[in-house]
Structure 1
Amino acid sequence: MQQYRKMEDKEIRNRIVRKMLRNQVVGGHKKQIDTVVNMTLPSHEQGRGRDLLEDMVTDPDAPIEGYGGGHRQNVRLTSVEDAVDYLKSNGGDVPFGFD
């Protein structure tokens, strides 16, 4: 049986922000919450990742905002600068070309 390492919440949040930054999910570009979680995290962490991403949308210190209405639950970064600052202040890895 394969053993999976449980990721820390901070590591999950940093990974989500980093992936959204690399894919430039900012401005008019948006993604559904499920899409972000699925492209970012291993399957055994996706449930927790979804919860953390939803929490980040309501956290004024997080660089992620909800976008649009309806049932789709779209998210995007508030700005590239906010995402870079968030990663730097939370020990995350800033993608090449954004620092």
Structure 2
Amino acid sequence: MLRKRIVGGHNKQIDTIVNMVLPSHEQGRGRQLLEELVTDPDAPIEAYGGQRNAVRLTSISDAVDYLKENGGDVPFGFD
């Protein structure tokens, strides 16, 4: 989501995100993780527009900080 800059007014459906970035054999797990992250108050992902399936990052800096704190790889150009 960070690499695709899904933040601010740019929100996407969870299905669109997993289809865009994950191979088919990982899409089910990716969908599950996104749904869990939306409910996690410490995660930089929020539901948008009253639909649980539309999500976005709270901010670029929140996403970078979250990745760093949790051992994730920050995409080139964001660090």
TM-score by length of 1: 0.74
Q: 1:61: which partner in 2? A: 42
In the alignment, does 2:30 pair up with 1:49? Answer: yes
**CA deviation after TM superposition for structure 1 residue 33, in Å:** 0.4
Q: 1:94 aligns with which of 69, 74, 77?
A: 74
Structure 1 runs, 4 residues or longer, greater than 3 Å off? none
**CA deviation after TM superposition for structure 1 residue 69, in Å:** 2.2
Amino acid in the other structure paired with 2:25: H
Q: 2:58: which partner in 1? A: 78
Pairwise CA RMSD: 1.3
Identity fraction in percent: 80
Count of residues in correspondence between the two structures: 79
Please state whether the residue corresponding to 1:82 is helix, strand or coil.
Answer: helix
Point out where structure 2 has 5 or more consecutive residues left out of the alignment: none
Distance in 2 between residues matched to 1:75 and 1:47, nearest whole Å: 17
Distance in 2 between residues matched to 1:91 and 1:40, nearest whole Å: 20
Please state whether the residue corresponding to 1:83 is helix, strand or coil.
Answer: helix
Distance in 1 between residues matched to 2:21 and 2:68, nearest whole Å: 19
Point out where structure 1 has 5 or more consecutive residues left out of the alignment: 1-19
Amino acid in the other structure paired with 2:60: V
- Of Structure 1 and Structure 2, the greater helix share is in 1
